[in-house]
Each structure stands twice: as structure tokens, then as C-alpha cells.
Amino acid sequence: MTQVVVVGAGPAGLACAVELRRRGVGEVVVLEREVTAGGIPRHSGHQGFGLRDLHRVLSGPQYARRYVELARRAGADVLAETMVTGCHADGTLEVTSPTGRELLRPRALVLATGCRERPRAARLVPGSRPEGVMTTGLLQQRVFLHQERIGKRALVVGAEHVSFSAIATLADAGARVVGMVTELPRHQSFAVVRAGAALRYRTALWTRTVVRAIHGRPRVEEVELLDLDTGRTRHVPCDVVVFTADWIPDHELAVLAGLELDPGTRGPRVDTGLRTARTGIFAAGNLLHGAEPADVAALSGRHAAASVADWLGADNWSGPVLPIVCEPPLQWVAPNGLGPRLDAPPRGRFSLRSKEFLRAPALEICQEGRVLWSGRVARLIPGRSASLRWGWIRSVDLAGGPVEVRIAQR
């Protein structure tokens, strides 16, 4: 019997496999539905991968190749073109590949299926359905994997790190990026990144603005923007619209396995050791929440490996028993559960996201009105994680109610 199946050969899945082998776990199989293993970094052309986990700076494709090599060298089986199409509550997997259709019953299952950007339809943006509307993921694949030309004038929806990366990709592909829009009052990236886009690509930034409609057929001709404060509309001629960020975990297998989704993260609930509510099933990386950088996902996979190795050596299972929930404007916290085993969370911290910009907010973590921790973080920026300490979990009452993270009431 295969000891561990890891679903998804992106940074989290591959890093998990490497660590499992390093810990002496026998048979580790990583299943990847794409033709090439490596995950999203395969088509992320920019530099900056590998800092936190491999302690070097690589491009996305270099980083992806390196991890595949590390996993293979460590003795994990990395099978590409192998898709898990079903997952039962006991961890049994339905698998399709060119070699056939089979059922796998591993002793432990690690879901590392990643996340994707919500496409235009899921954001309910009205208008016609022309060519030229895409997500960053698709844009990158077209440009880096298929060397396509994309269009002449582009509009980018969203103003996070990935949105600026989309601008660079569009510019590389010969498109002029006329503007980016966000409904938030400012962009969410680094000031220097925004300044760079303004100077280098002359890209305008329209804040507090939403896309009211997309027009044109068969190709995009114009986008209608609505200024939320003034109610004024603006018509922007363009032939490409890229919807960026607004990440959603690719949680299909998690749901099929019977795992409940957290309303904030839209990922499964896990304890600090990344165990789910189902015996023998673990979850890691960006399946747990909207996108974190690749190296952070990899460290999450590595972290899960320790719990998997523990589980293989023991025979009693314990998953999350307490949810950790957020109150608006806070959006989510990860990990989002606590189990009887109070392990340190990945990277020794909880990650916290907010829907709004907040400067030095006073936060508190409570259980049934009892404050377990209070303090400040420097700032909260939508789409970017802030770190919370984790020592407070030792004072949690595991028989008590849910743990809440909120803005301090004082």
C-alpha cells in the first residue's frame, strides 16, 4: 500500500514530499494533473522565488524545476498527467491517467491543490462575452508557455502584487496597460512597485472604481468603469481585460472528501499541524486560503509533512476540534482550527487577512469572552497577510467554544 499520496505537485505538494522522504517515509507519490509538475511558478516569469524556503533567488520556472528535481532526488514518485477526479471520505482516490483508471487507498492523504483567481463570471461582471477577457493565470500561460501575443491595450482589474505582475507580463507581450482599477481606496502592493508601473508603463490607477460592464463583440472594445464615490462612469477603450487576484482555493477534492469549508478562507479547516477533520487527510499550501507566495506555500507543505510522519508512526488520530473565526472587517485567519495537539503553526505564526486597510489596529483573540491575547500589528492591507504570534494557543480551553480574532472593542 502507498503510504502517502500528495495531490498537487506545486510548491506545497513537492516540498511536502521532499520532507516526508527526508523523514524516512517509505512510499510517497505526488499526483499532478498538469502535463508538467511544478505548479503555478512554471508560468510566473518574474524573479524572487525561493527566498524563504530554499534561501536563494530564482525565477518561477527555475524554482518549479528545482522542486521537481528535489522531490525526485528524494525518492518521491512525481506522476504528471495524473488527475484525481474523486475523493471519498475515507481518503480513497479515483485517479485517471493515460495508463488507466484506478482507485488508490493511501494511509495518509495530503491535499495540496492550490488556488486560482476568480474569473470574470464568478465576479458577476455584466456585459457581452467577448474574446480578450482573462485571469492572470491564463495570461501568463499564454505569454510564457505558448508565446502568444495578447492584444494592444489592456486594463487590469485588481491592484495587488499579482496585478502588477500582470502589468509586467502584458508589457512583455507588447500590450500597453492603460490602467488598473480597484474598488479599494488604494493599491495593495509596495509603493515602489506602484511607482514603477506608473513611470515605466504609464499605467493609471483608478481607486474606488469597479467594472460596470464589458462591451464589444467578438473582441473587447471598451470597458465601462463606475466611480463608487462620485457615481460617474468612465469608458476605457481596450482589447484586453485581465481579472487578477480574488483568489479561491481549488477545494473540490476537499469538499468531495466531506470537509467543511471555512466561510472566510473557502478552504478546509485544519489545526496547527494542518490536519483536517477527516482521519488521515491533511491539507497544505494555498488550498487553505487565497494566495500566499510560493515559498510560503512550500513551507506549509513541509510543515504538514511533520504531522503526516507523526500520524504514520502512531495510530490515534486527532484533527481540529475548535474553529478559529474572524469578525469583519477581518477576513480570515490561518490555520483556522485548533486540535488537541497544540503544535506550532507553519512558520511559527498565524496569518491574518483583512478586507479593509487598517493602520496599527488593536487586535484581540478571545474565547467565550476571555481574552487569550491582545496586541497590535503594524498594519493590515487587503490581500496581504499579517503575522500573529501563536503562544496563546496553550491557554485555549479545548472543551470550550470557538476562538475569535477581532478588532479590540475598547
Partner 1 sequence: MTLTALDYDVVIVGAGVVGAAIARDLSRFELRCTLVEAGPDVGAGTSKASTALLHTGFDAKPGTLEARLVRRGHELLSSYAVQVGIPVERTGAFLVAWSEGQRAAFPGIVERAHANGYRAIRELETDELYRREPHLGPGAHAALEVPDEGIVCPFTTPLAFATEAVLSGCELRLRAPVTRVERLETGFELAVGGTRLTTRFLVNAAGLHSDEIDSLAGHVGFTVTPRRGELIVFDKLARPLLGHIILAVPAGTTKGVLLAPTVFGNVLLGPTAEDIQDKGDNSSTTEGLAYLRAEGERIMPKLLRQEVTAVYAGLRAATEHGDYQLAVHGPEGYACAGGIRSTGLTASMAIAEHVRTELGARGLPLSERDELPHVRMPNIGELAPRPYQQPERIAANPDYGRVVCFCERVTRGEILDALASPIPAVDLDGLRRRTRVLMGRCQGFFCAAEVAALLAEGGGQ
Output 138 or 205, the one with its CB closest to partner 1.
138
d(CA 274, CA 287): 11
Q: Cβ–Cβ contacts within 10 Å for residue 230, how many? A: 9
Q: Cβ–Cβ contacts within 10 Å for residue 355, how many? A: 16
Report residue 5: phi and psi, to 5°. -110, 130
Helix spans in 234-384 (H) = 252-256, 294-313
E strand or H helix that includes residue 6: strand 4-7
Shortest Cβ 227–partner 1 spacing (Å): 15
Q: Which among 184, 191, 189 is positioned nearest to 209, based on CA atoms?
A: 184
Output 56 or 129, the one with its CB closest to partner 1.
129
d(CA 260, CA 377): 30
d(CA 141, CA 267): 25
d(CA 334, CA 324): 8
Output 171 or 261, the one with its CB closest to partner 1.
261
Shortest Cβ 33–partner 1 spacing (Å): 6
Shortest Cβ 28–partner 1 spacing (Å): 22
Asked if 245 and 187 touch (Cβ cutoff 8 Å), the reply is: no
- Residue 171 has what DSSP assignment? H
d(CA 239, CA 216): 9
Assign 52 to helix, strand or coil. Answer: helix
Residue 11, preceding peptide bond in cis (omega within 30° of 0): no
Output 170 or 372, the one with its CB closest to partner 1.
170
Shortest Cβ 212–partner 1 spacing (Å): 7
By CB under 8 A, name the binding residues for partner 1.
Answer: 33-34, 81, 83, 85, 96-101, 116-122, 124, 126-129, 134-135, 137-138, 141-142, 145-146, 148, 212-213, 215, 217, 248, 252, 255
d(CA 300, CA 345): 9
Output 134 or 352, the one with its CB closest to partner 1.
134
Output 120 or 194, the one with its CB closest to partner 1.
120
d(CA 236, CA 221): 9
Output 9 or 305, the one with its CB closest to partner 1.
9
Report residue 143: phi and psi, to 5°. -80, -50
DSSP string for 301-327? HHHHHHHHHHHHH--------EEEEE-
Output 63 or 144, the one with its CB closest to partner 1.
144
Shortest Cβ 395–partner 1 spacing (Å): 34
Shortest Cβ 281–partner 1 spacing (Å): 18
Shortest Cβ 82–partner 1 spacing (Å): 9
Shortest Cβ 108–partner 1 spacing (Å): 24
Output 53 or 117, the one with its CB closest to partner 1.
117
Shortest Cβ 21–partner 1 spacing (Å): 27
Output 82 or 203, the one with its CB closest to partner 1.
82
CA distances from 324 to 117, 129, 131, 331 (A): 25, 40, 42, 12
Shortest Cβ 137–partner 1 spacing (Å): 4
